[in-house]
Amino acid sequence: MKTMKFYHFLVLFGLLISLQGFAQETVEFAVNLSKSKLGINERIRVDFSMNQDGDQFTPPDFKGFRVVMGPSQSTSSSWINGVRSFKRTFSYTIAPIQKGTFTISQASVVIDGKTYKTQSKEVIVTDAVKKPSDQLTAYDIAEEKLHLVAEVSKNSPYLNEPITVVYKLYVGGNINVSNFRPLENPTYENFWSSEIPINKYSFSSGTYKGEPYNVVDLKRVVLYPQMTGELVLEPLSLEITADVPTNRRDFFGGVIYSSTNKVVTAGKRTIDVKSLPEEGKPANFSGAVGDYNFFVEASKNILNAGESLQLKVRVKGTGNLKLFQIPEVKVPASIERYDPEFSEDIKTTFGGMQGEVSNSYTLVPGYKGKYPIPSISFSYFNPKTKRYHSIDSEEVLLQILEGPELGQEDQPNQVQKLEVVADDQFKFIELQTKLSPIEKKNFFGTLNYYLSWLLPLLLIPLAIIYGKNRQKRRGDVEGNRSRRANQLAKKYLSAAKKAIADKEEFYVALERALHHFLKAKLKIETSELNKDKIAEILLERGIEKDDIKELIQLLEHCDMARYSPISAGEIQTDYQQSIATISKLDKKI
């Protein structure tokens, strides 16, 4: 009796395992065409696939076609982690017998006593093509099914308005792309460019000229046009290794693929750049295009004379944050102002650069009192509203509590009067004196005598020359800006050396050093820092084309290296090359 119960238990247990292994999954029965449009001298392959075994498969009548081959049958089955996978395919190769639009009607199959049918498919048959599909090589199929397209967010932007270019690869016909490498990268002449890194390439479904394709983004870049008129985007060219399915099958019924290399190119695109309107343009407009907020903030408002404070001028928002000049702070003459320290916190997105830039001034008041720092105005052009906007900062009032008052003369030192006290304690007064003659020294007519007269006279013209030079230097706005840029170039070059272990921080500092060096030596504004302008000025200064090319490549490399894998040795090489390039240009300029 016990043996029978144990036997029933085993049967029940085996039945449960069987039911678990063979649990019914959703039945799928579908049709797939190798192409939906063909010439009358071509052929197409039609596959009917089911994910569960069935009986009484009935193909369609293939009206308008003749069956050249088939049906051929392939079956695959596997167990993975206790889950069964099954697939059976009936394949036909058919050829059209006339031109027109035809419908491949439904096929049917019976699975577990239930009838399932495929959807009907429409096929367009056109005139004969030069090379029928059955004679196409893997390269021919790749030529037909691989397309590289440059999609531009805006074809008619304003000057310095960001546009996004996305290079997309469309892949059709069950082709697998295993590798690609750039043959020709666009230089984006007359554009300031910033690439958006792509960490992982992933395909998604899309359409190309009305047909279904798989699509992947290969390159994304944000461009800021630096000139008006028609600007040409040079094409991107790639060499792609593609695995193309053939009509042959291996021993297990799997499709045999043929590998081929194909060069695809995204054609040239023309961008029509509009100039910024002159109507309503503020006098202090420095080239800012986008949507911004503007702030002037003091680290403290109450302090003593001789103490320092930080005054930060910030521009925050979306737009060409690296391509305009931050308004300059003007302070009362009694407050010493040091050159500003520039900082930025910017990230590039599809909408352009986002973040903020700022200048931080160190101020040291010298006298007691209340000193207002006047309001500063910042102007920008907003492409969305197509208008100029101006933002005025609030006045910053500094209250200096202790220290000398402005205009107060130094009081003469008070001489302490000593009281002479009469005292008759002198016990002895010597009556006999012992005097010796003093050697007579004549000061008049000596060298020191004449120098005491001449030196003050000589100091007067020197003081006048010094005062004029100081006044001239203060009035030399361009020279002061150049000197300030030169100081910042040295500062950021030093910062790059310190950050040589941090790739992104290193290349940010190195790019700033190069920009400030160029601003100092070429005496140009931030808004003029584009490759064409730099090359043009350097040529005028007699710099050789090879040296100019080396500098431009270095600038481009700094921009791209932040988002590319770079070794420590390459970073060290870039730093040494930057030192050599700056030294070489400094001597020649």
Helices then strands (H, E): number in the chain? 8, 30
Q: How many residues does the chain have?
A: 589
Q: 506 and 496 in contact (C-beta within 8 Å)? A: yes
pTM: 0.49
Q: Is the pLDDT of residue 23 over 50?
A: no
Residue 39: what residue type?
Answer: G
Q: Is the pLDDT of residue 301 over 70?
A: yes
Query: How far is residue 290's CA from residue 164's CA, in Å, rounded to a whole number?
Result: 15
Q: What is the mean pLDDT of residues 164-172?
A: 93
Q: What percent of the chain has pLDDT over 90?
A: 30
Query: How far is residue 474's CA from residue 305's CA, in Å, rounded to a whole number?
Result: 24
User: What's the pLDDT score for residue 169?
Assistant: 93
Q: What is the mean pLDDT of residues 460-476?
A: 69
Q: What percent of the chain has pLDDT over 70?
A: 78
User: What's the pLDDT score for residue 466?
Assistant: 74
Q: Is the pLDDT of residue 121 over 50?
A: yes
Q: Is the pLDDT of residue 518 over 60?
A: yes
Give residue 543's pLDDT band: very low, low, confident or very high (50, 70, 90).
confident
67-78: pLDDT as tens digits? 877 788 877 777
User: What's the pLDDT score for residue 297?
Assistant: 94
Give residue 478's pLDDT band: very low, low, confident or very high (50, 70, 90).
low
Give residue 50's pLDDT band: very low, low, confident or very high (50, 70, 90).
confident
User: What's the pLDDT score for residue 421?
Assistant: 37
Q: Is the pLDDT of residue 287 over 60?
A: yes
Q: Is the pLDDT of residue 21 over 60?
A: no
Q: Is the pLDDT of residue 146 over 60?
A: yes
Give residue 397's pLDDT band: very low, low, confident or very high (50, 70, 90).
very high
Give residue 14's pLDDT band: very low, low, confident or very high (50, 70, 90).
low
367-384: pLDDT as tens digits? 999 999 999 999 999 999
Query: How far is residue 343's CA from residue 455's CA, in Å, rounded to a whole number?
Result: 48
Orientation of helix 503-522 relative to helix 477-498, angle to 10°: 160
Orientation of helix 545-561 relative to helix 503-522, angle to 10°: 150
User: What's the pLDDT score for residue 414?
Assistant: 36
Which range has highest mean pLDDT (6-20, 237-251, 524-538)?
237-251
Q: Is the pLDDT of residue 117 over 50?
A: yes
Q: 558 and 511 in contact (C-beta within 8 Å)? A: yes
Give residue 496's pLDDT band: very low, low, confident or very high (50, 70, 90).
low
Mean pLDDT, the chain, whole residue set: 79
Count CB neighbours of 296 within 10 A: 21
DSSP 542: T
Q: Is the pLDDT of residue 426 over 50?
A: no
Relative to beta strand 55-58, strand 108-111 is antiparallel
User: What's the pLDDT score for residue 417?
Assistant: 33
Sequence-ordered list of residues with C-beta below 8 angstroms from that of 38, at least 6 positions apart, any chain = 44, 96, 123, 124, 125, 126, 129, 133
